[in-house]
């Protein structure tokens, strides 16, 4: 199995999802080949929940990383789980046109690109 998907599956095991029971892992690869992982972290107020993708992206950014290549997202769903709308906005803005690999626990996977998942974005070009 691919290294990045493996990292996302492993990160998923750390998910804190007592409310939804839906565990997600993400693994974001930078242009140096380093992998930054994240899992969803839920909160009793529900609205303060942070998705796995954003945890991975914010972790990488806080380490000083600014250039990225790919992200893998792993969840236990037959229909492969894509990043939510909020994560698409954040990933587009911080990481650009990533390759996005969706994977599940049965070994199914699919490759997409952020520009197709998030067409016509409102981004930094509008506010600079």
Contacting positions for ligand THU (CB under 6 A): 17, 20, 22, 24, 40, 42, 49, 51-53, 73, 81, 83-84, 87
Catalytic residue at 6? no
Alpha-carbon distance of 71 to 42, in angstroms, equals: 21
User: Which is nearer to ligand THU, 29 or 42 (by Cβ)?
Assistant: 42
Q: What are phi and psi of 63, to 5 degrees?
A: -90, 0
**Smallest distance from ligand THU to CB 26, Å:** 7
Alpha-carbon distance of 99 to 77, in angstroms, equals: 20
Q: Which of 2, 13, 32, 53 is catalytic?
A: 53
Rounded to the nearest 10 degrees, how much is the dihedral formed by the CA atoms of 64, 68, 70, 76? Answer: 30
User: Which is nearer to ligand THU, 44 or 127 (by Cβ)?
Assistant: 44
Beta bridge partners of 28: 36, 71
User: Which is nearer to ligand THU, 37 or 127 (by Cβ)?
Assistant: 37
**Smallest distance from ligand THU to CB 22, Å:** 4
**Smallest distance from ligand THU to CB 79, Å:** 12
**Cβ contact 16:38 at 8 Å:** no
Instruction: Please identify every residue annotated as catalytic.
Output: 53
């Amino acid at each position: 199995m691919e290294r990045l998907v493996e990292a996302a599956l492993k990160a998923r095991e750390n998910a804190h999802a007592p409310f939804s029971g839906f565990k997600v892992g993400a693994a974001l690869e930078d242009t140096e080949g380093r992998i930054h992982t994240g899992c969803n972290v839920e909160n009793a107020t529900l609205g303060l929940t942070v998705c796995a993708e954003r945890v991975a992206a914010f972790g990488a950014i806080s380490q000083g990383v600014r250039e990225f290549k790919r992200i893998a997202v792993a969840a236990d769903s037959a229909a492969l789980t894509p990043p939510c709308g909020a994560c698409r906005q954040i990933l587009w803005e911080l990481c650009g046109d990533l390759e996005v690999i969706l994977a599940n626990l049965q070994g199914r996977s699919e490759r997409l690109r952020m520009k197709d998942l998030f067409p016509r974005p409102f981004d930094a070009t509008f506010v600079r």
